[in-house]
Amino acid sequence: MGNVIKLPLNDSGIPRQIRGTIALGDVGAGSGALAVTGDLISASRTTPVAGQTLLSVVYAAVPFNNPIIQFSLESLANANDDNDLEEPVFENKTGTTFDMFFQETNSVTQNLVIHVTVTEQ
């Protein structure tokens, strides 16, 4: 019959995790709410100066303890244009929110989706 695997009866030792995507589109273009998927609650963008985007993300109704933020970028159009940006950074991390900062290196139109995973430590 095979080996029996015993699983824990509760998940108290398993860290909470939230996953989702953010439809960023073009870096440095416009402001306002962005479409989110998965467990993300909301995301909005502003353009501090030309070629920059400041993204504010809300991810949890119940605060996480010391969250780990992981993200990756997906090109939805021309990858040669979509990679024309500095490496994004996040800041202002709390138990329910964080900000991301993007700076493009060439004035081209990107079409990006951000894949986000937030894990509680």
Q: All domains of the chain, ordered by start, with CATH?
A: 31-120 (2.60.40)
pLDDT of residue 81: 86
pLDDT tens column, 106-117: 888 999 999 999
CB atoms inside a 10 Å sphere around CB 98:
20
Strand order in the sheet with 89-91: 32-34, 42-46, 52-58, 97-103, 89-91
The pLDDT of residue 61 is above 90:
no
Q: What angle do CA 43, 46, 51 make, to 5 degrees?
A: 120
**Coil vs helix vs strand at 79:** helix
Nearest to 118 by CA among 88, 102, 98: 98
The pLDDT of residue 96 is above 80:
yes
The pLDDT of residue 24 is above 60:
yes
Q: How far apart are CA 65 and CA 75, in angstroms?
A: 32
Q: How far apart are CA 63 and CA 120, in angstroms?
A: 9
